Chains A and B, each alone.
Chain A
Amino acid sequence: EVHLVESGGGLVQPGGSLRLSCAASGFTFSNFAMSWVRQAPGKGLEWVSGITSSGDDTNYADSVTGRFTISRDNAKNTVFLQMSSLRAEDTARYYCVKDGHCNGGTCYFDYWGQGILVTVSS
């Protein structure tokens, strides 16, 4: 059974940094791309960042480019999201998601973690 468990969230001041981790199990981690999707309180879903199975390629939403960095450790079945220069508008629940099989650029997200709350406030 696939499990994705996020950690590292919490309260941080504007301008601060936070590193999210996602421990994966139940599948061959190194074979699949991974992504982070966030959901602000009472709002919809927003794709944040993705990383290929090897970690060689990464992609970011315009809203976080230059501030967030996604990485992975295939030996430890873990994906990370380093967040810096945090803003109030980054306040959200952050979901770690496993990419399913991608078709010409479109990847679906077949498994989701329970999410971790990040609150940016002074």
Chain B
Amino acid sequence: QSVLTQPPSVSGAPGQRVTISCTGSSSNVGANYDVHWYQQLPGTAPKLLIYNNNNRPSGVPDRFSASKSGTSASLAITELQAEDEADYYCQSYDSSLSNSVFGGGTKLTVL
């Protein structure tokens, strides 16, 4: 069981907007540690998508955005495209474990 909780799956039609939640606790997200997001396309290594809660690395489209509030964070993808079909993971730091922690991952299906 992951320290950060994500829905196992979400889906949306092309052009739509989807959100993926990441729920933590007072020892990680709620303790004001930054949240980061990764995209893992099928058969490939994960790729950094969002860092420090809401920053996009160079080359990541502005269709991807994220936010954080309290003990939760969320990733939003607008104008959904077929190429967005992937697994998405949130990551933060947990002070109880003194470790980086990942969410369980969310599989995005583009209908």
Contact = CB atoms under 8 A, between A and B. Distances in A.
Same complex for A and B? Answer yes
Interface of A: 35, 37, 44-47, 50, 59, 61-62, 95, 100, 103-115
Contacts of A95: 45-46
Q: How large is the interface on B (under 10, 10 to 19, 20 to 34, 35 or more residues)?
A: 20 to 34
Interface of B: 2, 32-34, 36, 38, 45-48, 51-52, 57, 87, 89, 91-93, 95, 97-105
A36 to B, nearest CB: 11
Nearest to B103: A44
Contact of B57 (A46, A107, A110): A110
A44 B89 contact: yes
A117 to B, nearest CB: 12
Q: Is the interface of A mostly helix, strand, loop or mixed?
A: strand
A44 B2 contact: yes
A112 B45 contact: yes
Contacts of B104: 44
A63 to B, nearest CB: 10
A61 B47 CA distance: 22
A103 B92 CA distance: 11
Contact of A108 (B32, B45, B52, B105): B52
A21 B38 CA distance: 23
Given A45-B46, A45-B89, A113-B45, A108 B98 contact: no
Contacts of B38: 45, 109
Nearest to B51: A108
19 contacts: A44-B89, A44-B102, A45-B105, A46-B102, A47-B100, A100-B48, A104-B34, A105-B33, A105-B93, A106-B33, A107-B100, A108-B34, A108-B36, A108-B48, A108-B52, A108-B91, A110-B57, A112-B47, A115-B45
